[in-house]
Chains A and B, each alone.
Chain A
Amino acid sequence: EDQVTQSPEALRLQEGESSSLNCSYTVSGLRGLFWYRQDPGKGPEFLFTLYSAGEEKEKERLKATLTKKESFLHITAPKPEDSATYLCAAYPGGSYIPTFGRGTSLIVHP
């Protein structure tokens, strides 16, 4: 069974305190690993796609990396506006349907 597990469930950081969010996946023939950001009361917003182990993508203070078993979302010197829930999703090979993790709720205090 395809599975995506995110940790921690919740993370509180001080502004400027760098950290990482984890996404462990078990899917058959990974086609792609996706990261989304979700603000309260809004729909998820696409951030990154990673296709193969060793790949990295960056956007402002965020960097996503991928291994054969997990993906990390590194947040460098976060600001309060980075506070949100971060979701990851994995597409099994040959499927139209991604498997989503339950998300990590990030709060960055000023």
Chain B
Amino acid sequence: NAGVTQTPKFQVLKTGQSMTLQCAQDMNHNSMYWYRQDPGMGLRLIYYSASEGTTDKGEVPNGYNVSRLNKREFSLRLESAAPSQTSVYFCASSEWRDSYEQYFGPGTRLTVT
């Protein structure tokens, strides 16, 4: 099992450009999450999807949109990138009907200039 995979691993954008971060899991988990991690700030939740067909805002949703494409895939879109969105982005999944620990992907390091 690959677990949680994310693409791309690294990305540099110019202010105003758009991009989509892709995430997929092969553990048949119902719930998926997008976090950003900044120095001194810890993990902050951007959006989550409790189950296929639902998405909800987390702590810091402004400037982002998400799509739960199917049970396996959950994408994060930046419509007009800003320097404040420079961060490391992590996707995670969990099975809330079971023991609900989260499994994280390797992260995408995004720089917006």
Contacts and interface: CB of A to CB of B under 8 A. Distances in A.
Given A49-B101, A87-B43, A101-B42, A96 B31 contact: yes
Report, as a range, how many residues of chain A touch the other chain: 20 to 34
B90 A43 contact: yes
A100 interface: yes
Given A97-B48, A101-B42, A43 B100 contact: no
B99 A45 contact: no
Interface string A28-58: 0001101010000111111001000000000
A52 to B, nearest CB: 14
A92 interface: no
Given A43-B104, A43-B107, A46-B103, A102 B42 contact: yes
B58 A42 contact: no
Nearest to B40: A102
B101 A43 contact: no
B105 A43 contact: yes
Contacts of A49: 99, 101
Interface of B: 4, 31, 40-43, 45, 48, 50, 58, 90, 92, 96, 99-107
